[in-house]
Structure 1
Amino acid sequence: MLHIPNEDARFIRETCGPEIIDVLEEQAAEHAWTDLYLHRPEWTAQGRSYTDAVLLAVEVAPPAQQIILKIVPAGAAGREPAAAAAAAEAVETFTDLHLVKQPFDPVPLPDGRTLMFQKVAGDSLRSTTTVGGLDGQHRARVVEHLIRGLLSCWNAEVLKLAVPEPVKVSAFLREELNGVWQGDGSLQAWGRSLGVLDPAPPWLYSDGMRLPNPYLMVKGGPALPDPELRVLRGLGHGDLHLDNILVPQMEGTVQAEAYRLIDLCTFSARADLGGDAATVLLSALIPFVEHELPPDQRHALLRFIVAPHATHGAYIVPRAKTLVQAVTVTAQREMSHWRDSWDAQFLLSLMARALMFTTYTGIGVAGRGWLVRLAAHAGGELLARTARRQGGQAWPPPLEPGRDSFTTTQFSAVGVAGSRGSAGFVPDQEPQRRRWETDSGVRDERAVLGFGPDHTVVLVDGQGRVRRWSVGGDSLPGAEGRPARIRVGHQALVSSLTHSLVTAWPKELEILRFPQDAGVFRSDPVHFDGGENFLVTSGGDVFATHDRKSLTVRSFEDGSVVERVPCPASLAASAVSLDASVIALARSQEVFIHRRGRPTLQRSMANSMLYFRTGLLRKFSSLVGPGCQLAVSPSGSHVGCVTFEEVLVWSTEDGREVYRRKLTDREAREALGGEGMRLLCTETGTLFCLKRGRLSCPTIDGGIQLRQSGRYVDVATSRDGRLMAMLGSEGRLEVWDL
């Protein structure tokens, strides 16, 4: 007769169900136990439970021994006893050191659950903890030993006889994600909530990079490459997060090499050999990414994982960097005989496991958004490597503006309790995080914004008064203006290389310089010869003016002439790149793109006012030559144009048209009139348009307006495209991360 203390028996019935007592009595008769009692002090397994299993630590006698009772729920988890037994039989030496054995056969329960008996990992409950409960330094040591053991010990014999299996990327991903992808699973539901699945755009933009849509890579199809890789399979845990790894401590010292693996219900003898390493890495990084990271840190960590470079290290939290290296560098050493193919397989494993992790609701929206980014970065790096290896097209493919780049601009994901919050995976083309704001004290419709060198923000009002700040908000020396007003709006330009700016007065230019050890130095005025001159309100390394006959590129040093380009008749708009290597000049229905050292491109566009397109006024449309807006990206890679009728973007590399759409009637009506209009172009060819105080993205159907508070007077982007400054009509100056 088995003796169980009344208090212990009551706890077991309440926790596990009354039938467990009957089963334990049957086991006692079989194994000659006379006593069973809960381990005191009461023990509770540390870490999170992913399977809803119930764990109880008990002591039985005779002979006196500690064992773990584990009641495994029905369903997929119910295969754990058989899977654990198979894992234990695979490699005896690894099992003795690193797996938890089953001293007695499992017992199926009437309700479909299973009662398992396990030995205590590390021989002691009190001195054993999960790796997730360790600090960063000890955690990295255990992870390094673990990765080495998985590849060089557990799979040593497997690798001696392994033959790589050819598999398409999409087929591999679907197999790995089977349960959460098939049948409209939770992975697909999350993808739809992000707005990147059904329909699935092939390309997403992140941190200035063009990346493949990872959901579309799982789905397969002609929109993205689907290369064939050779992958190695072997013994794998299948769910090796940090709370499924136990490690003993001796006299307060972590015994890193004595780790034990638990919860082997997902064990497979044909597992993706990179899957366990990827799971360990992601579970170790979740604490660092479950809250939104600053863009530079986020980007550096993502790239350090998929394509590490020494320059990334300065932006990464040291503990996170150490954990990444504990997995990736250790695995590369152990797989040195298979290095290049291993790197490709590990990227594929990262994609699968990152997408799998997005189905874990406990991670949170920000963390899940980071995981989608990681899957996209891993997919992009994988396609880049296979494209180079297979001699395919140049990689990465050319950046394309327009619909794809904005497919995810507005997306957000459903968070806790139905609230909506940023999922963290959006293109750089939308302001994401306000870095700093202040009351500039300037309430002037003619005020102009610009970014100077060394992360400075410069504001010039309509009388030429200059105010300057660091991006962090510190005030810098400025300058007083003049009684007269500068000639028209946006007639000032800030240098991106030196602490200088130029303002345009009715008959002259004035260049102001701000030395580090002084206030302001005003150069001699630059007088215009002949007729009326205008400042071209783009550039940065140099500036330009035009008199409708020629465009003159000038130095910020003294306004001296660097280059002259003839203007077409009836000039309507002009724009230059930072260094003026690309100059765009437009008249009503033609754009001329001058490329330094290469032939000039000539492109046509539709441009007529809404009321002249139909009805009685249509016959007069050819007599009316409306203007347009032009913008050149900082490096000169793209030229954008917005007319009264359409939006166009051209690539200056080969002159191809990369985006074109007709304006809606609403947009066409809004284009009539309005001062202070500004068009900006990013390196991806995405356009920003400031019109009537509202900032919009013309390179999307309907010209969607960005979120903003109040009315803007001017906007500017930094030289590297990472920051945007906005000046509100009430004087509020804001700087945002893009």
Structure 2
Amino acid sequence: MTDHVDPDLAEGLGPEVADVLGAWAELHDRYYQLDYWLVNGRSRAPVAVVTETDLRRVAIAQLVLKVLTVSSGGIRDLEYGRHLRAVEQAGSFARHLSRFVHEAIPAGTKRWITFQSVAGETLGNSEVLTVLLRRMLGISTDPEPTKAAPLTCDPPTFAAACARVVRGVLNEWAGPPFTPPGETWDLPHFFRQHIFDQMDEGGRLHGWADRHQGSYLSLPGESTLLPNPFAVARGEFFDPAVVVRPLIGRTHGDLHTDNALIQVRPTIEPSAFYLIDTALYEDSGPLTRDPVHFVLYVIARSMEAIAPAQHAPLIDLLLDPPSGPAHLLPGWLAMLVRQTDAEAIAWVRPSGLEDRWRSQTLLSIAACALLFLGRSSTPEKDKPFFLRLAARAVARFADTEPRRARPTGAGQDSDAGRPSDGTRRVAWIGWLCREYPHVRTAAGLRGWEDEAEQFRDDALGGLDRTDDLTDFVRRLGGPTPDPRFGTSGSEGQPVDEAYLCPIELCPRREQRPPGGPVPVCHLTRDQPRRMRSSLG
């Protein structure tokens, strides 16, 4: 390696990449000095701010150096190519994007060295929106730049900055609402445009999808079963005839507050924003994805400032921004949700497609919520919120499509969506529902509580574990589970009265002994719940 690349930069790049850069720099009579390394979110690509000294041009510039790797797809899908297309297709919006300088430099197997101009011309004047978020919430410990005035941000300014980004992405970049003639997407395809291959084996969502095989979920805080969003993504919940006519166009693909910089010095200027990291740019992506992901990212990064009691109102507001319970949420959060939604509606309303936008936004909320469920950056304690949000969004979508949104295999009576009595897949669930307290007690004596709890979780997920349960009960010293339901001693009761599963999960059917207590379901998460009478 030559002295055209300083040692600290070379060490961070690794010997192979550093040697390539050094030879290329020597050829062009350029020198590269490391200013500092950048943390690039979830990316493992080396990213650094460097000073380039060009002796031929007698010029100096600060650039962002990034080493890109082709991990999947073709070379054309590399961020370099996507970004070039983004700039070419952006028109006047290109002023909000950084630009590559020099051509990409091959640096070994499937690796390329790239240089980009600094967004906003100087990094010292800009910050990512996440910094403003944390300053506003008072939860940031980042040091202030030397000699800079302390950076502050109030809720109206932060909401205005976020709304301005959404307005720019839709009005100035995507252009008017558009659906190609005859274009329709089924729901699995719509979800895949958000979560890509993450439900496949080895993907971040594979384990979650594998554990949630049923059509419905019973979730903490919810009084009824909710559609399983993984079943929707697999094409197992709705009839295949349920399709959408997607609003598509130019999309960033990974819009969030760490990929959006804004001018903060000498003052915060919402209109002076810049988008970075266009590795997932598409010229025909689902337009509801960017605004939804943007807002959910803010929520994911500020869950510590949102009380558990506010989770349900927040979901209500996300699913219905104009009418949701904004008064039950922190003012900054309600302001953010409503202002970003207002920008999207102002964009789509002249086309007369507001209802279509609302409907597809619900699906994007469900799909993007699954993304956060699978990310290691989402704390485990926050993941139930995102699963609940995804399920509620799908349920709301079903409500908005009453003529077409019929769950596959569901009947039209009061027990719609509940598997029939004779199916092996759910018979074991009814037995466990009735006997769970005894199973749990016996398992506890042997230190097998976790295994018993797993049966409960799998029952709520609709999995078939009939044989596993039979073996488990035998190991506990109990009798072989009998999936037949009902109790003796029904004298004095109407012959047609029975007590049914209160969460419509299994075919358990009990009769109440004269003067005896109402049977209860032991699988509901919050506490045992009285079964419902078939007489209403």
Same fold (TM over 0.5): yes
8 Å Cα contact 2:170/2:344 also seen in 1: yes
Give the secondary-structure state (helix, strand or coil) at the position aligned to 1:105.
strand
Of the three residues 251, 259, 264, the one matched with 1:236 is: 251
Q: Which residue identity is paired with 1:179?
A: D
- How big is the shift at 1:210? 3.6
Give the secondary-structure state (helix, strand or coil) at the position aligned to 1:171.
helix
- Residue of structure 2 equivalent to 1:89: 88
Cα deviation, 1:380-403, whole Å, max 9, x if unaligned, reads 111111115889999997688897
Structure 1: how far apart are the matches of 2:275 and 2:294? 12
Q: Which residue identity is paired with 2:41?
A: S
Of the three residues 41, 44, 53, the one matched with 1:52 is: 44
Query: Given the alignment of the two structures, is residue 168 of structure 1 paired with residue 182 of structure 2, yes or no?
Result: no
Alignment of 1:124-523 (within 5 A): 124-135=122-133, 136=136, 137=155, 138-156=157-175, 159=177, 162-163=180-181, 165-183=183-201, 185-192=203-210, 195-197=211-213, 200-204=214-218, 206-221=221-236, 227-251=242-266, 253-289=267-303, 293-294=307-308, 296-308=309-321, 310=323, 312-336=325-349, 337=351, 338-387=353-402
8 Å Cα contact 1:292/1:367 also seen in 2: no
- How big is the shift at 1:290? 6.2
Structure 1: how far apart are the matches of 2:253 and 2:334? 24
8 Å Cα contact 2:198/2:205 also seen in 1: yes
Structure 1: how far apart are the matches of 2:110 and 2:249? 30
- Residue of structure 2 equivalent to 1:63: 59
8 Å Cα contact 1:289/1:366 also seen in 2: no
Structure 2: how far apart are the matches of 1:394 and 1:308? 32
- Residue of structure 2 equivalent to 1:588: 490
Structure 2: how far apart are the matches of 1:290 and 1:73? 35
Cα distance change of structure 1 residues 678 and 317 upon mapping to structure 2, 3 Å threshold = farther
Q: Which residue identity is paired with 1:189?
A: G
Q: Which residue identity is paired with 1:105?
A: E
Cα distance change of structure 1 residues 262 and 222 upon mapping to structure 2, 3 Å threshold = closer
- Residue of structure 2 equivalent to 1:732: none
Cα deviation, 1:265-316, whole Å, max 9, x if unaligned, reads 111112111111111011011134369943x421111111112464612322
Structure 1: how far apart are the matches of 2:84 and 2:413? 47
Give the secondary-structure state (helix, strand or coil) at the position aligned to 1:100.
coil
8 Å Cα contact 1:388/1:394 also seen in 2: no
Of the three residues 115, 118, 138, the one matched with 2:116 is: 118
8 Å Cα contact 1:164/1:233 also seen in 2: no
Cα distance change of structure 1 residues 660 and 19 upon mapping to structure 2, 3 Å threshold = closer
Give the secondary-structure state (helix, strand or coil) at the position aligned to 1:264.
coil
Q: Which residue identity is paired with 1:45?
A: L
- How big is the shift at 1:3? 5.4
- How big is the shift at 1:120? 0.5
Q: Which residue identity is paired with 1:52?
A: R
Cα distance change of structure 1 residues 109 and 342 upon mapping to structure 2, 3 Å threshold = same
Cα deviation, 1:398-450, whole Å, max 9, x if unaligned, reads 6888979x89999xxxxxxxx99x99xx9xx9xxxxxxxxxxxxxxxxxxxxx
Cα distance change of structure 1 residues 302 and 224 upon mapping to structure 2, 3 Å threshold = farther
Q: Which residue identity is paired with 1:14?
A: E
Structure 2: how far apart are the matches of 1:177 and 1:333? 27
Give the secondary-structure state (helix, strand or coil) at the position aligned to 1:346.
helix
Structure 2: how far apart are the matches of 1:99 and 1:650? 54
- How big is the shift at 1:326? 3.0
8 Å Cα contact 2:321/2:338 also seen in 1: no
- Residue of structure 2 equivalent to 1:98: 96
8 Å Cα contact 1:288/1:320 also seen in 2: no
Structure 2: how far apart are the matches of 1:187 and 1:30? 46
Of the three residues 107, 115, 119, the one matched with 1:109 is: 107
8 Å Cα contact 2:192/2:233 also seen in 1: yes
8 Å Cα contact 2:188/2:234 also seen in 1: yes
Cα distance change of structure 1 residues 209 and 165 upon mapping to structure 2, 3 Å threshold = farther
Cα distance change of structure 1 residues 311 and 224 upon mapping to structure 2, 3 Å threshold = same
- Residue of structure 1 equivalent to 2:469: none
- How big is the shift at 1:254? 1.6
8 Å Cα contact 2:37/2:48 also seen in 1: yes
Structure 2: how far apart are the matches of 1:380 and 1:707? 21
- How big is the shift at 1:177? 2.4
Cα distance change of structure 1 residues 307 and 396 upon mapping to structure 2, 3 Å threshold = farther
Structure 2: how far apart are the matches of 1:309 and 1:210? 26
8 Å Cα contact 2:130/2:258 also seen in 1: yes
Q: Which residue identity is paired with 2:328?
A: Y
Of the three residues 492, 496, 501, the one matched with 1:603 is: 496
8 Å Cα contact 1:204/1:212 also seen in 2: no
8 Å Cα contact 1:284/1:323 also seen in 2: no
Structure 1: how far apart are the matches of 2:241 and 2:42? 33
Structure 1: how far apart are the matches of 2:362 and 2:529? 37
8 Å Cα contact 1:128/1:246 also seen in 2: yes
Cα distance change of structure 1 residues 291 and 126 upon mapping to structure 2, 3 Å threshold = closer
8 Å Cα contact 2:188/2:232 also seen in 1: yes
Structure 2: how far apart are the matches of 1:591 and 1:401? 25
Bigger relative contact order (CA 8 A; separation at least 6): 2
Cα deviation, 1:712-735, whole Å, max 9, x if unaligned, reads xxx999xxxxxxxxxxxxxxxxxx
Give the secondary-structure state (helix, strand or coil) at the position aligned to 2:102.
coil
Structure 2: how far apart are the matches of 1:277 and 1:51? 21
Alignment of 1:616-635 (within 5 A): none
Structure 1: how far apart are the matches of 2:314 and 2:335? 11
TM normalised by structure 2 equals 0.71
Give the secondary-structure state (helix, strand or coil) at the position aligned to 1:12.
helix
Structure 1: how far apart are the matches of 2:413 and 2:364? 21
Higher share in helix: 2
8 Å Cα contact 1:246/1:259 also seen in 2: yes
- How big is the shift at 1:71? 1.4
Q: Which residue identity is paired with 2:284?
A: R
Cα distance change of structure 1 residues 390 and 50 upon mapping to structure 2, 3 Å threshold = closer
8 Å Cα contact 2:315/2:389 also seen in 1: yes
Structure 1: how far apart are the matches of 2:131 and 2:224? 36
8 Å Cα contact 1:358/1:371 also seen in 2: yes
Structure 2: how far apart are the matches of 1:355 and 1:93? 34
Q: Which residue identity is paired with 1:246?
A: L
8 Å Cα contact 1:384/1:396 also seen in 2: no
What RMSD in Å do the two structures reach over aligned CA positions?
4.3
8 Å Cα contact 2:65/2:113 also seen in 1: yes
Residues matched between the structures, number:
444
- How big is the shift at 1:70? 0.9
Give the secondary-structure state (helix, strand or coil) at the position aligned to 2:254.
coil
Higher share in strand: 1
Cα distance change of structure 1 residues 212 and 224 upon mapping to structure 2, 3 Å threshold = farther
